[in-house]
């Protein structure tokens, strides 16, 4: 039997990168999936492609997780289509790196709004339905930056530390009411954002980044998606308030 047969999932940032890989994996395992994204072009392209591939069990919803009103409208549209949401994957995120003293207020707010508050507002919108059903799995995509600090990466680690804290806090808060909340902390994963950053580096720096990884290769988005699938399934029913690192071992050797 498919591992998510009969389940209904919503994935933010689902039109690209880790979110898209997770949507494909969930669909392959029998879930009905709502792909939520603010990129209208990518959303239309990928939702049509996925719906055609998986017998129309995928629907795209345009929403911006940095905007509470947009979230409310997006969730309302999702629920009108699916009736309920059993699984929420908060994969929407944005890299924000800068000098702390030169960082303007708007950039600071954007980082927190997308990388931390967006996840909370999505949970806040869907949690009542999960509590009523006494069933719900939430997976937040955090980052290795939520564990180790790299110079020049501020304020991104602030938001990702907060997201891991949110995961643990809510996981404990609702553990006895049928809700599980876990997070995944990817390292350097081959996504459009990572590819764009690496493209700006010279060949020597690109090779250095690979050599820093104990496994000597970048991670793939589907490797993160496989972990999200496990955490979202009933196979992981005794895993709660936990973060799983997927970084090829890099976080163990950050002093190098």
183-194 per-position pLDDT tens digit: 999 999 999 888
**Are the C-beta atoms of residues 109 and 148 closer than 8 Å to each other?**
no
> What is the rounded distance in angstroms from the CA atom of residue 111 to the CA atom of residue 159?
7
pLDDT of residue 7: 98
Residues 6+ apart with CB under 8 A from 16: 37, 39, 42, 46, 191, 192
| pLDDT of 232 over the 80 cut | yes
* Token pair of 188 as six digits: 């350097």
Other beta carbons less than 10 A from residue 114's beta carbon: 22
**Are the C-beta atoms of residues 220 and 227 closer than 8 Å to each other?**
no
Mean pLDDT of the chain: 96
Mean pLDDT along residues 145-168: 96
CATH class of the domain at 8-189+220-246: alpha beta
Other beta carbons less than 10 A from residue 41's beta carbon: 9
Domain ranges of the chain: 8-189+220-246
Active site residue 174: no
pLDDT of residue 197: 87
* Token pair of 117 as six digits: 């508050």
> What is the rounded distance in angstroms from the CA atom of residue 99 to the CA atom of residue 234?
43
Lowest mean pLDDT of 117-131, 155-169, 207-221, name the range. Answer: 207-221
pLDDT of residue 252: 86
pLDDT of residue 145: 95
- The percentage of residues in the chain with a pLDDT greater than 90, rounded to a whole number, is 90
pLDDT of residue 255: 61
| pLDDT of 247 over the 80 cut | yes
132-153 per-position pLDDT tens digit: 999 999 999 999 999 999 899 9
pLDDT of residue 170: 98
Coil, helix or strand at residue 84: coil
Q: Which of 135, 156, 174, 254 is catalytic?
A: 156
| pLDDT of 18 over the 90 cut | yes
pLDDT of residue 119: 98
33-81 per-position pLDDT tens digit: 999 999 999 999 999 999 999 998 999 999 999 999 999 999 999 999 9
- Residue 85: band (very low, low, confident or very high) from pLDDT cuts 50, 70, 90: very high
- Residue 1: band (very low, low, confident or very high) from pLDDT cuts 50, 70, 90: confident
Cis (ω within 30 of 0) for the bond into 155?
Answer: yes
Mean pLDDT along residues 101-108: 96
**Are the C-beta atoms of residues 112 and 119 closer than 8 Å to each other?**
no
């Amino acid at each position: 039997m498919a591992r998510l047969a009969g389940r209904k999932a919503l994935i933010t940032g689902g039109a690209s990168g880790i979110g898209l890989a997770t949507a494909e994996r969930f669909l392959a395992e029998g879930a009905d999936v709502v792909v939520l994204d603010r990129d209208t072009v990518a959303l239309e392209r990928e939702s049509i492609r996925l719906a055609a591939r998986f017998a129309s069990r995928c629907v795209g919803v345009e929403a911006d997780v940095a905007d509470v009103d947009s979230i409310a409208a997006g969730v309302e549209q999702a629920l009108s289509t699916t009736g309920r949401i059993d699984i929420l994957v908060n994969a929407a995120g944005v890299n924000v790196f800068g000098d702390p003293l030169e960082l303007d207020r708007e950039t600071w707010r954007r980082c927190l709004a997308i990388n931390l508050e967006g996840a909370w507002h999505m949970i806040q919108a869907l949690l009542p339905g999960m509590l009523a059903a006494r069933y719900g799995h939430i997976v937040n995509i955090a980052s290795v930056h939520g564990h180790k600090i790299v110079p020049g990466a501020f304020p991104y680690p602030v938001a990702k530390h907060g997201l891991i804290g949110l995961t643990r806090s809510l996981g404990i808060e609702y553990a006895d009411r049928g809700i599980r909340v876990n997070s995944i902390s990817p390292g350097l994963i081959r996504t459009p954002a990572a590819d764009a950053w690496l493209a700006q580096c010279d060949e020597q720096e690109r090779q250095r980044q690979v050599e820093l990884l104990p496994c000597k290769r970048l991670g793939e988005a589907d490797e993160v998606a496989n972990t999200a699938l496990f955490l979202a399934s009933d196979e992981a029913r005794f895993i709660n308030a936990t973060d799983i690192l997927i970084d090829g071992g890099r976080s163990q050797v950050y002093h190098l």
